[in-house]
Amino acid sequence: MKTLAALTLAAAALTFCAPAAAQFAKTEDAIKYRQSALFVMGQHFGRLGAMATGRMPFDAKVAQDNAALLAQLAKLPWPAFSAGTDKGAPTKARPEVWAEPAKFKEHAEKMQAETVKLAAAAQTGSLDSLKAAFGATADSCKSCHDSFRAK
């Protein structure tokens, strides 16, 4: 019984300490995780876009909060594109994600960097700064989607 408990603990510890690539119990979980993270990002980015394009009145505090969240959320999706998660649940991720990992990583890092700049722009309280940084971030979303996401 003691041995079993020790083994269970060791297995649990391994699960928590495993590298990011092995964080998901199932392939399907990794796919759902990255889709969920990107969906939530889209919600927050969409609010910033609504302000940047005048569809929603500009509120500096709301912009700051959304942009700060977005910069944190932008860290989430990437470990969930781990090896073997190209199928196992419906996904628009193209095979290029795994065939061209350096290029994919470059796009992911570019987008993350843009969200950090967007959060900094939102901090200034200037709508013009927000607009410029929003546009640059949207371009980074789009260029990755063009190469790595199926239509």
Residues that bind ligand ASC (CB under 6 A): 42, 45-46, 138, 141-142, 145
Q: Residues annotated as binding site?
A: 141, 144-145
Taking the least distance from each CB to ligand ASC, the nearer of 31 and 141 is 141
Q: Where are the alpha helices (DSSP H) in the chain?
A: 2-17, 27-52, 60-73, 96-99, 101-124, 127-148
Q: Residues annotated as binding site for heme c?
A: 141, 144-145
Tell me if 34 sits within 8 A of 80, measured CB to CB.
Answer: yes
Taking the least distance from each CB to ligand ASC, the nearer of 42 and 79 is 42
Smallest distance from ligand ASC to CB 49, Å = 6
Distance, in Å, from the CA atom of 100 to the CA atom of 5, rounded to the nearest integer, reads 43
Residue nearest to ligand ASC (CB): 42
Which phi and psi angles does 52 have, rounded to 5°?
A: -65, -30
Taking the least distance from each CB to ligand ASC, the nearer of 30 and 74 is 74
